[in-house]
Structure 1
């Protein structure tokens, strides 16, 4: 997989939650963005410029040498410290804002984009997330997914999917 992705933009979702990548793939597909995808359970090769890889193994993450990476909220800070040593210079790291101190110690240069947990309410079985464009209903009650939505939205921007292009498919995706 490392050889295959050598001349491509390597995008890492550093998470133990497979629903995070599935959700991102659905958003990208809705917006006509195609990627190659590798995880422990699935491989999709479309010979695209972007290769998306999901793992929660710090050694795999480091070997992948991502250009762009999303760290999800359940990730231990110690692991983040290890894999960011191998971020590509000039890359982009998207991470939960409570990890700012950990990320701040990185010796290599890359853009750092912190995200806050998603503001949401659940009432009568309905989940509403609060965004700059208003309240948006979700078909999921997965707090893990909800708490990482702001990070997923920042990651989708790296593929050229802006806010409305992200939230429109989000309303129909269940997780």
Structure 2
């Protein structure tokens, strides 16, 4: 199974359309996960045109998105448990807030956003994955998004462009 992971798209404020690299990945995915800061419900409706979408709201999302999406969720797919949270808050680092959000749950992977900084590392047996942003790279050298492959294991990678 192939999953496209995006976060911090901030559409339409930071981009009017998704980059072609992202569109191609969405067209080839079986699931799309968005880790928050979509910005508008219209962008949610745009993503649904590519396939099944799961996601959480972030700190800049509209009231309509916040009423439709959870703050965090666990997605169970072919035996893997993936936690998704945006990661915003006042205490600690974004990474630590993401870990704390699932401290009482068994998860194999935590997907988070907020910082716009791509992260791929293992902590205490949990894969931490921040796809970065494909539309608002901030101080990063390149925009990015993520691909997760599920087969005999869970494999995550960044796509930089």
Length-normalised TM-score, structure 2:
0.35
Q: TM-score, normalised by structure 1?
A: 0.33
Which is richer in strand? 2
Decide which structure has greater helix share.
1
| Bigger-Rg structure (1/2) | 1
Identify the structure with bigger relative contact order (alpha carbons < 8 Å, sequence gap 6+). Answer: 2
